[in-house]
């Protein structure tokens, strides 16, 4: 009896839900029940199409089913969950509609790094470690700092219902929904970074989702709203302008800050609570002034821009890491892949992505003679 066939049968049995019978699985795979029984016992090999169907039905990785090893190109996903206050349940109701976009992102990485030879470096496992590497003022350029300092890629695309983090061939990628709420994007970056730093993508038990979501939320809150900064501020007497500056520099919403203060049981004055109960944009525009930002020179149109709009535009802009685009460019130039995915990343027509392949050098007369055996 072939040990390899026996091992595959064991993995199939282990992956079957407790309420699934062999007969039921055989019917779904369109196999005779006795053929499945023999295959599970190592007395018969599975056909490729049978294994592919079984992997799909049992929702397991085909590479693992065959080899017992995780596929180097396996995609693991974590998402920022929505909390339903009526049911008390966290979930991702838009996941099915998001799958096409996430699959396209994963495909872009598989094309760029087919050998899974571009893994991200290990992340610090604590908020303190992450904050030290990101350094002061990281909120202003959060996505850029994540890529440069922590080797975490940031993708931003429209059409997603929520924000995700994925690992693809060992590469850490945060995928954000493109929208103007920059403070939500900042919290999502910190939240998904928490999933990655805490190793949540290495866990398969779905029943731990609530605990992992809570841990990622705490990680984000600790990263963006340092407890020592909050405790060192008098929230009963702070003025509206200083409050607006704190929100701006922390990169969070008024609601997130108020929730954090209440969670830490820090006293909050009535006026401050009223301002934090309102919208973030209202607080910043009514009381923030120039928000301590120097205008960027843009010729005669400088005065048309303001820092809040700048952040809104940045949060809504499509984004793919330059390193990913460059990897595609090289493989396109070498004739290894077509430019369709790069055109999608750049949101442009296929005809606009023109990459010349390097010219092949012509052999000399002597080299040609050698090749012909003359």
Domains of the chain, residue spans? 3-67, 75-224, 227-312
Whether the predicted pLDDT of 85 surpasses 60: no
Residue 273: pLDDT over 60: yes
Inter-helix orientation angle 209-224/127-134, to 10°: 40
pLDDT at 96: 78
Residue-level pLDDT at 61: 72
In a 13 Å sphere around the CA of 340, the CA atoms on its Cβ side amount to: 6
Q: What is the pLDDT of residue 144?
A: 96
Instruction: Tell me phi and psi for residue 295, to 5 degrees.
Output: -65, 145
Distance in angstroms (rounded) separating the CA atoms of residues 61 and 148: 32
pLDDT of 104-153, one tens digit each? 999 999 999 988 889 999 999 999 999 999 999 999 999 999 999 999 99
Strand partners, 79: 164
Alpha helical stretches, state H, 41-113: 48-58, 62-67, 95-112
Asked if residue 164 lies in contact with residue 79, where contact means CB atoms within 8 angstroms, the answer is: yes
Residue 367 has pLDDT above 90, yes or no: no
- Asked whether the CA dihedral 233, 237, 241, 244 is positive or negative, the reply is positive
What's the rounded mean pLDDT across residues 70-97?
58
- Phi and psi (nearest 5°) for 310? -60, -50
Q: What is the pLDDT of residues 201-240, one digit of tens each?
A: 765 544 446 788 889 999 999 999 999 999 999 999 999 9
pLDDT tens column, 28-59: 989 999 999 998 888 888 888 898 889 888 87
Between 56 and 89, name the one with better pLDDT. Answer: 56
Per CATH, which fold does 3-67 belong to?
434 Repressor (Amino-terminal Domain) (1.10.260)
Q: What is d(CA 58, CA 44) in angstroms, rounded to the nearest whole number?
A: 20
């Amino acid at each position: 009896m072939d040990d390899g066939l026996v091992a595959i049968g064991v993995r199939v049995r282990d992956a079957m839900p407790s309420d699934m019978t062999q007969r039921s699985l055989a019917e779904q795979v369109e196999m005779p029940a006795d053929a499945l029984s023999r295959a599970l016992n190592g007395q018969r090999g599975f056909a490729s199409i049978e294994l592919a169907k079984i992997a799909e039905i049992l929702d397991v990785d085909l590479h693992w089913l065959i080899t017992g090893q995780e596929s180097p190109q396996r995609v693991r996903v974590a998402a920022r969950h929505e909390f339903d206050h009526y049911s008390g349940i966290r979930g991702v109701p838009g996941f099915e509609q998001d799958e096409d976009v996430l699959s396209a992102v994963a495909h872009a990485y598989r094309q760029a790094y087919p050998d899974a030879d571009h893994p991200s470096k290990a992340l610090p496992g604590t908020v303190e470690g992450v904050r030290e590497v990101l350094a002061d003022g990281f909120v202003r350029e959060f996505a850029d700092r994540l890529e440069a300092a922590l080797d975490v890629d940031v993708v931003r695309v429209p059409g997603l219902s929520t924000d995700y983090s994925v690992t693809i061939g060992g590469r850490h990628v945060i995928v954000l929904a493109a929208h103007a709420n920059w403070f939500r994007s900042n919290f999502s970056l910190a939240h998904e970074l928490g999933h990655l730093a805490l190793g949540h993508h290495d866990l398969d038990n779905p029943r731990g989702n609530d605990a992992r979501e809570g841990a990622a939320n705490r990680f984000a809150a600790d990263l963006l709203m340092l407890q020592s900064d909050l405790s060192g501020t008098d929230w009963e007497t702070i003025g509206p302008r200083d409050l607006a500056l704190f929100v701006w520099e922390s990169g969070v919403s008024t609601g997130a800050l108020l929730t954090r203060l209440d969670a830490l049981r820090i006293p909050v004055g009535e006026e401050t609570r009223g301002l934090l109960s309102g919208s973030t944009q209202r607080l910043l525009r009514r009381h923030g002034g120039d928000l301590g930002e120097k205008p960027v020179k843009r010729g005669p149109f400088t005065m048309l821009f303001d820092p809040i709009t700048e952040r809104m535009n940045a949060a809504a802009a499509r984004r793919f890491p330059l390193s990913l685009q460059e990897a595609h460019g090289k493989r396109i130039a070498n004739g290894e892949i077509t430019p369709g995915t790069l055109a999608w990343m750049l949101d442009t027509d296929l005809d606009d992505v023109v990459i010349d392949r390097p010219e092949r050098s012509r052999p000399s007369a002597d080299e040609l003679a050698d090749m012909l055996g003359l």
